[in-house]
Amino acid sequence: MSTNISLTPELESYAKNQVAKGLYGSISEFMREAIRMHRERNLEHRLYLHEMHKELDMAAKEIDDNNISKFDMNDTIEQSLKDI
């Protein structure tokens, strides 16, 4: 399969520089890695949002039940990252 893409001069220069440094064998290899990284980041973001929705649902239930507990966003983020 072949796909042609257009890059801004800045992005093209960056990609060529990565190849010139020997980090990638070609711009195509660099672009495949960039797409894989983008896909992984999106998955992590979706998992993060899923965990945040779970926490919000639990908090809403606690409020409805008049059972309000201390909420620490930093603890929640830390736990979510560990679960990923």
Q: Residue 15 falls within a domain, yes or no? A: yes
Q: How many domains does the chain have?
A: 1
How far is Cα 58 from Cα 41, in angstroms, rounded to an integer? Answer: 26
Give, in degrees to the nearest 5, the angle at Cα 71 between 73 and 62: 130
The alpha-helical segments, DSSP class H, found in the chain are 9-20, 27-64, 73-83
Domain hosting residue 24, numbered range: 9-83
Whole-model pTM above 0.75? no
Q: Residue 4 falls within a domain, yes or no? A: no
Q: Residue 2 falls within a domain, yes or no? A: no
- pLDDT (0 to 100) of residue 80: 85
DSSP 39: H
In the structure encoding, which two tokens stand for residue 42, read together? 């999106």
Q: Residue 1 falls within a domain, yes or no? A: no
Instruction: State which residues of the chain have pLDDT below 50.
Output: none
- pLDDT (0 to 100) of residue 12: 96
Task: Map tokens 């992984």 to a residue.
Answer: 40
